Amino acid sequence: MASIFQLTQFPCRVLSPAPPHHQKPSILPLNSINFGQRITGKPYNSVHEFNRVRPVFLTRVSEDEEWGTEKKEEEVEGGAVAVAEEEPPKEETEIDSLKKALVDSFYGTNRGLSATSETRAEIVELITQLEAKNPTPAPTEALTLLNGKWILAYTSFSGLYPLLSRGTFRLVTVEEISQTIDSESFTVQNSIQFAGPLATTSFSTNAKFEVRSPKRVQIKFEEGVIGTPQVTDSIVLPENAEFLGQKIDLTPFKGFITSVQDTASSVAKTISSQPPLKFSISNSNAQSWLLTTYLDEDLRISRGDAGSVFVLIKEGSSLLTS
């Protein structure tokens, strides 16, 4: 790496020669007599007079720098210009590589529903490697990391597959499955958001959790909530439609559609103003435990009491868009 030697009796020294195949820094041409004329307007009469003036030397580094780091100039004592090296970007760790590979393996699996046996085996192997490198060996003692909303990216829990399958609700899709943890109140909310052609809604369960070990919590469900449907209040009508090979002008129907749209808007506002429907869960068997086997700022891996695995990503994490 290029550096600048200490200033000596000579006004300044420039950068040491660059490595092979690298363009040498260029120095502005210097002639002792002509240089003195440029500064003072008259030539120097002696070497001592020349040494009293501290000329400024400029160095330039070629743009095709082969060392791969960006340079920037800084002025130092005596008028010399030093070339400072910017701090290199942070190297990707092995854990970062494993997390990216795991998230990439989820592509096209519909949260695990459509995963092939080969893909499942790859996911299991990546999960095992991450669990062996868990940076938080006692997750229940780091509750601040557990705080927040976690988006389900993958699961092997077959109990969720009927909800994810389009065969069960052909016109309804699952937009998001999430778990929100509040470590201050020791509460957990599991939520599923559905989207249909005319409305969106959600179903969630509220629960309390108790810490049972450094990795394990006991969850007891207390309440179910059916969210208020959000009805679509706008209808877009095309100018024409094709029927039996003929185009039909739909312009005359616009007045009728406008009336229907106004009615739909009124219905949407009425429904949206209603509170969500809540019901208590009193079944003594409505509880389970959860074992967190990996936890960091943006990824969590948990295992349920039925042997199923859940991989969740923290809301706002770059892993959700990678």
Which of residues 54, 89, 124 is at a domain's end?
89
Which residues are CB-neighbours of 278 under 8 A, at least 6 positions away?
223, 224, 225, 226
CATH number of the domain to which 315 belongs: 2.40.128
At 275, the pLDDT band (50, 70, 90 cuts) reads confident
Q: What does the pLDDT average to over 107-133?
A: 95
Return the pLDDT at 233.
Answer: 55
Which residues are CB-neighbours of 13 under 8 A, at least 6 positions away?
4, 5, 7
Percent of the chain with pLDDT over 90: 42
For helices 94-105 and 117-132, give the axis angle rounded to 10 degrees: 160
Burial class (CB in 10 A: 0-12, 13-18, 19+), 161: middle
Cα–Cα distance measured from residue 302 to residue 309, given in angstroms and rounded to the nearest whole number: 6
Residue 238: domain span: 229-274
156 and 280 belong to one structural domain: yes
Q: Which of 64, 61, 59, 39 is nearest to 49 (CA)?
A: 39
217-242 pLDDT, tens digit per residue, is 999 999 999 988 877 655 555 666 66
196-224 pLDDT, tens digit per residue, is 767 788 999 999 999 999 999 999 999 99
Alpha carbon separation from 7 to 4, 77, 95, 285 (Å, rounded): 9, 9, 46, 80
At 85, the pLDDT band (50, 70, 90 cuts) reads low
Residue 177 has pLDDT above 60, yes or no: yes
148 and 249 belong to one structural domain: no
Q: Lowest mean pLDDT of 76-85, 115-124, 158-167, 308-317, name the range.
A: 76-85
Cα–Cα distance measured from residue 150 to residue 299, given in angstroms and rounded to the nearest whole number: 8
Helix (H), strand (E) at residue 247 = strand 246-249
Return the pLDDT at 235.
Answer: 54
Alpha carbon separation from 312 to 41, 135, 150 (Å, rounded): 74, 16, 6
Q: Which of 265, 291, 284, 124 is nearest to 211 (CA)?
A: 291
Q: Which of 141, 148, 149 is nearest to 212 (CA)?
A: 141
Identity of the residue numbered 192 = I
Q: Are strands 26-27 and 81-85 parallel, antiparallel or unpaired?
A: unpaired
Which of residues 19, 54, 89 is at a domain's end?
89
Residue 193 and residue 172 in contact, taking contact as beta carbons nearer than 8 Å: no
180-194 pLDDT, tens digit per residue, is 999 999 999 999 998
167 and 297 belong to one structural domain: yes
Which of residues 59, 89, 119 is at a domain's end?
89
170 and 281 belong to one structural domain: yes
Q: What does the pLDDT average to over 34-60?
A: 48
Cα–Cα distance measured from residue 163 to residue 86, given in angstroms and rounded to the nearest whole number: 51
140 and 252 belong to one structural domain: no
Residue 75 has pLDDT above 60, yes or no: no
Q: What does the pLDDT average to over 308-318?
A: 96
Q: What does the pLDDT average to over 251-277?
A: 70
Q: What is the dihedral of CA 193, 197, 199, 202, to 10 degrees?
A: -10
44 and 69 belong to one structural domain: yes
Mean pLDDT of the chain: 75
Return the pLDDT at 254.
Answer: 66
Return the pLDDT at 43.
Answer: 53
Which of the listed ranges 9-18, 92-101, 249-258 does the model predict with the highest average pLDDT?
Answer: 92-101
4 and 144 belong to one structural domain: no
4-15 pLDDT, tens digit per residue, is 444 344 444 444
132 and 270 belong to one structural domain: no
Residue 156 has pLDDT above 50, yes or no: yes
72 and 188 belong to one structural domain: no
Helix (H), strand (E) at residue 85 = strand 81-85
Residue 54 has pLDDT above 90, yes or no: no
3 and 18 belong to one structural domain: yes
3 and 125 belong to one structural domain: no
Give the predicted TM-score (pTM) of the model.
Answer: 0.63
39 and 66 belong to one structural domain: yes
Alpha carbon separation from 217 to 75, 82, 101, 223, 272 (Å, rounded): 59, 58, 28, 18, 36
| Structural domain count of the chain | 3
- 1-29 b/e (C-beta count within 10 Å ≥ 16 → b): ebebeeeeeebbebbeebeeeeeebeeee
